[in-house]
Every structure is written in structure tokens, then in C-alpha cells.
Amino acid sequence: MLDLYKKNGEVILCHGGRACSLLGQDKAELVFKDIGRFLENHPKEIVTLILESYIGTKDLENVLIKADLFKSLFSKNSNEEWPSVQRMISTNKRLVILNDRIETINPSWNHDLWAHAVETPFSYKKMEDLKCEFNRGNPKNSLLIFNHFTTLISGRPLEAKKINRKEFLEKRIADCRKKLGKFPNFITVDFYFWGDSLEVVNRINFLK
């Protein structure tokens, strides 16, 4: 999940718009080059970028080209089924863009986020608030973004340590999967290095 802005003619990554200078920012091209290195070093992995975008499609295209990622972009029409992982690997189209800003003339690689995905709410303030319900997007869409974090102005490390524990996260995933009738394709957490979120994700990938 990346937020894209343009500042002084350059595409940057930050969160919060006006708060970028306070909270920190990175050059999008440098981060995208890191993603490119990951794809080169892990030829059987697929990367999906979920973009909150405040830049135009042409600006996004330019930074992808500069980072040498354009060759890796996966494209699909909205009425097509998602391909198998093996097909994406064999064609080496392993970078998926899901963008919340779509223009009238839109290239096929720039997929409309809310035409493909639905999410759970993202504005939970404490552990007890976490619920199984739909937020943005059509519940009939094929992909589920499973938001699993709490926020008070910014991320909450102590809360993350609790809700990222294996027992809590696995139970919430199972409960929401049963209630919503959807498999969580993207499990979004804060501070993934605290708790057991990576272990849980690896486990449910095998149980799908």
C-alpha cells in the first residue's frame, strides 16, 4: 500500500499529504527500483501495489519506466478472470497495480482498485473495535483487502503487538471469512515485524 504525491516535479511516497514533511517521504523511483530488484531476485514471487494516488497516470507511467518496472506490469480486462500464479510467473508479468485513481483514458495495466476489490474498515481505534464488515468496494468484487490495524493519528505499536499475535489474527481471519464469505487476499497490518502476521499469512496460503 503506497500513497503517491508529486512535489517539486518529482513523484514521492508519503502518507497524509500536508504532513509529508513532518512524517517523512521517499522518492518513488528509488522505492520502485527496490521492488524491481526484489522481482529479479525472486523470479517466482508476485508483487501487488495498492495505490492511493494523487498523481496522474502519465506521472505513474514515467516513474515505472524510470525504475525499469514497466516490463513486469500485468494487464487484465475487468471482465477477465484472474490468471493462475504459474501463468503470471511463466509470462514474467508479476507486478500488479491496483489504483484508486483512474482516468477516462486508462491503460490496461492500471487496474481500478474498486472494480476488483472490497475492503474491511480501516478506522479502528482499538483492538475491541475490529469487526467483520465491508467498507469501500462492491462485496461482489473478487479480491478482499483485510485491514487489521488500529490508528490514533498514526499507527499504534503496542496495539499492533497484541492484534498481530497468531491466536488473535487467525481467529479474526477465520471469523471474517465465515461471515463475509470471502478469502482475504491482502492482509494489511502495522508493524509486521511484531507478532506473528507473516507466519499466519504463510499458513493460510497453504490452507486456502
pTM confidence score: 0.92
C-alpha to C-alpha distances, 102 to 38, 49, 85, 207, nearest whole angstrom:
27, 15, 25, 34
| 88: number of Cβ within 10 Å | 17
Q: Which of 68, 84, 113 is the last residue of a domain?
A: 113
Instruction: Write the pLDDT tens digit of every residue in 6-50.
Output: 998 999 999 876 677 777 889 999 999 999 999 999 999 999 999
Residues 171 and 71 grouped into a single domain: no
Which of residues 113, 133, 162 is at a domain's end? 113
Residues 4 and 98 in one domain: yes
Please indicate, yes or no, whether residues 71 and 136 belong to a single structural domain of this protein.
no
Q: What is the pLDDT of residues 72-131, one digit of tens each?
A: 999 998 788 999 999 999 999 999 999 999 988 899 999 999 999 999 999 999 999 999
Closest C-alpha to 186, from 171, 205, 199: 205
**Rounded to whole angstroms, what are the CA distances from 175 to 41, 60, 102, 167, 178?**
36, 37, 33, 12, 5
* 3-state class (DSSP) for residue 11: strand
- Torsion 90-85-193-200 (CA) sign: negative
Residues 97 and 57 reside in one and the same domain = yes
Same domain, 38 and 140: no
| Number of domains the chain is built from | 2
CA distance 30 to 3: 14
Confidence class of residue 63 from pLDDT cuts 50, 70 and 90? very high
The label of the residue with cell 497484541 reads 162
Domain span at residue 186 reads: 120-208
Whole-angstrom distance, CA of residue 15 vs CA of residue 22: 10
Residue type (1 letter), 49: L
Residues 1 and 103 in one domain: yes
Burial class (CB in 10 A: 0-12, 13-18, 19+), 27: middle
Residues 200 and 170: beta-carbon distance below 8 Å: yes
Q: Are residues 4 and 94 in the same domain?
A: yes
Kind and range of the H or E run holding 88: helix 85-91
Check whether residue 132 and residue 205 sit in a common domain: yes
- Are 102 and 180 part of one and the same domain? no
Band (pLDDT 50/70/90 cuts) for residue 168 is very high
One domain for residues 9 and 107: yes
Please identify, among 84, 113, 142, the residue that sits at the C-terminal boundary of a domain.
113
- Tell me: do 58 and 160 sit in the same domain: no
Residue 111 near residue 100 (C-beta atoms within 8 A)? no
206 vs 31: which has the higher pLDDT: 31
- Does 156 lie in the same domain as 139? yes
Give, in degrees to the nearest 5, the angle at Cα 6 between 29 and 77. 70
Question: Phi-psi region for residue 112, left (φ > 0), alpha (ψ -120 to 50) or beta?
Answer: beta
Residues 180, 146 contacting (CB under 8 angstroms): no
